[in-house]
Structure 1
Amino acid sequence: MTRFAPAKVNLGLSVLGRRADGYHDLHSLMVPLTVGDALTFTPAPDLHLTVRGADLPTDERNLVYRAARDYLHAAGQPGGVHITLHKTLPLASGLGGGSSDAAATLLALHELYPAPVDLAAVAVRLGADVPFFLLGGPALAEGIGERLRALDLPAAALVLLNPGVEVSARDAYTWLGERSAYTPPLDLAAITEALRTGEPVPYHNALQPAVVARHSLIGEALAALEGAGLHSPLMSGSGSTCFALAATHEQAVQAAQALHVRYPGWWVSAAETVPGRSASS
């Protein structure tokens, strides 16, 4: 069995404030993309993980391993599985790759070993972004990211650009707290309308200013996207991947090719967002 694990971007990330428990209240529009990692699953007597394309641990330090372990435990240990993770997304990049890989693992094992397991409950224990990837479409994330509301959004073509900088979410939120630069909720209606019409999108990322202040290459990436003829550049999540929107998929492909030539050491990809269910019908 093979599963695709899509990347995501945040079409706006507002941090409303810090909670008494130390976490932050979020208001973010998350959308899956047509690019991502791939995983293969083979039933086996035990649990074994192989990673190709990245130097990652293959034990309980890996979210895929923990997702498989937790599902098998919740299902009563019906068997094991050999998993191969084919990693194509950059690491610590704001694209949710690890969380998506974990969600794909839960869905695959639920198919291999059907059992009355609450996947959402297992997912939230693995990380705040993991439940989002179980939905398969755009969602508004609130609370610490665990409260999700599925949304219908039009598809959008975009270009992803990562300058090779790794940014931890913990650092990004710490830097935001030092500034107390909290932001108001996103204007979902305005964002949706701009996506529909192709106009500049009125979103923001509360984490972006402090991250760019410490990593100038991310600021360079944002400027490069705009210089390639794309619009509404934004950092995704805690970084370091940035993205900008294109009028068409063809324009996105051309811009990605030009950026690859200009920045041969950077990760670049054209992609499309996955629309909401009724928006795609």
Structure 2
Amino acid sequence: MLVKAYAKINLLLDVLGTRPDGYHELVTVMQTLELHDTVVITKAREIELIVEGADLPCGRDNLAFRAADLLRRQVGYAGGASIKLIKRIPLAAGLAGGSADAAAVLCGLNSLWGLGMRMGKLLDLGAVIGSDVPFCLQGGTALVRGRGERVDPLPGLPSLGVVLAKPCFGVSTAEVYHRYDDIENPLHPDSQGMLQSVRGGDVSGLVACLGNALEQVTSSMHPEIEHIKSILAATGALGVLMSGSGPTVFGLFDNETAARQAAGRLKNGNFGVWVTNFYDPRS
């Protein structure tokens, strides 16, 4: 069985405070991208994981392995699965690559093992594995709240082109949130304006409301973020923003052709570049 695991970006991300459970209360608008990993699953006696295209652990430190193990224990399945991840989504990039892999494994095994588990139950399991997994299980465009467990679908957006620019370093999500908690007057993006624009299919309004409360933190740690944003903006991007806790910066374009033309002018930057577009698996 072959399942695609799609990357995401945050068109808007706001942090409302710290929850009693220690997580942060979030409001974010997420968008699935066509960029994806490929997950190949076959039946086996035990759960085994192979990763191609990236240096990643193949045991319990990998979200895909943990998803398979959790699902098997939840339903008492006697067998296992051989899982091969073919990685294309850059690592530690704020694009939910690991969460997308875990979501793909849950969906794939649900089918392969003939479990017939409904989406609601898969979402509950996904929330145990990671905050972005519930969104990755559904995909498209969505308002995501809580620590990621509350996913409300939004109308699909036009297939805008996207250029992803990731510097050669990663960031610690935990450290970014810790530093955010120390900010006296944090900036908050216009979540209501973003929701109104998305629901109305207003791309110019969407671009005007792009915002990420964590960007001020990651940019203070790594000034390269602002430099990459300025370079992307100079290529004619409709709008630019950092995704998640970073460090990847994305630029939005009218279509994928325009995005590829812009990416061709970024070859000499000290960062990796990927070109993709908005994708809606619901359509």
Residue 198 and residue 53 in structure 1: after superposition, are their counterparts in 2 closer, same or farther (change >3 A)? same
Aligned position for 2:150 = 147
Q: 1:136 aligns with which of 123, 135, 139?
A: 139
The equivalent of 1:172 in structure 2 is: 176
| Equivalent AA in structure 1 for residue 148 of structure 2 | G
Aligned: 1:257 with 2:260: no
Of 224, 231, 253, which aligns to 1:224? 231
Residue 125 of structure 1: CA displacement?
0.6
Letter in 2 for 1:142: R
Check if 1:162 corresponds to 2:169. no
Give the TM-score taking structure 2 as reference length: 0.91
CA contact (8 A) 1:16 1:182 kept: no
Match of 2:248 in 1: 241
SS in 2 for 1:252: helix
What runs of 5+ residues in structure 2 fail to find an aligned partner? none
Question: For 1:74, what is the secondary structure of its paired residue?
Answer: helix
What is the rounded CA distance, in whole Å, between the counterparts of 2:161 and 2:122 in structure 1?
A: 31
Equivalenced residue count is 276
Query: Secondary structure, in 3 states, of the residue corresponding to 1:132?
Result: helix
In structure 1, list runs of 5 or more residues that go unmatched: none
The equivalent of 2:273 in structure 1 is 268
**How much does 1:141 deviate?**
0.6
Contact 1:191 1:201 in 2 (8 A): no
Q: Which stretch of structure 1 is more off in the superposition, 241-250 or 14-23?
A: 14-23
Q: In 2, distance between residues paired with 1:240 and 1:210?
A: 11
Distance 1:42 1:8 in 2: 26
* Runs of 4+ more than 6 Å apart: none
Task: Tell me how large the CA RMSD over aligned residues is.
Answer: 1.9
Q: Identify if the C-alpha distance between structure 1 residues 47 and 27 changes in structure 2 by more than 3 Å, giving closer, same or farther.
A: same
Q: Could you tell me which amino acid in structure 1 is paired with residue 188 of structure 2?
A: T
Determine helix, strand or coil for the equivalent of 1:179.
Answer: coil
> Alpha-carbon deviations, 1:204-244, whole Å to 9, x = none?
10000110011122222111110111121100000011101
Tell me what 1:21 maps to. Answer: 21
Is 1:85 aligned with 2:85? yes
User: Compared with structure 1, are the counterparts of its residues 128 and 227 closer, same or farther at alpha carbon in structure 2 (3 Å cutoff)?
Assistant: same
After TM superposition, give the deviation of residue 19 of structure 1 in Å: 2.5
Q: What displacement does 1:248 show? A: 2.1
Q: Tell me the residue number matched to 1:119.
A: 122
Question: What one-letter code is carried by the residue in structure 1 that aligns with 2:178?
Answer: T
Structure-1-length-normalised TM-score: 0.92
Return the alpha-carbon distance in structure 2 between the equivalents of residues 195 and 78 of structure 1.
50
Work out which of the residue numbers 201, 207, 210 in structure 1 matches 2:208.
201
Q: Which moved more, 1:193-202 or 1:78-87?
A: 193-202
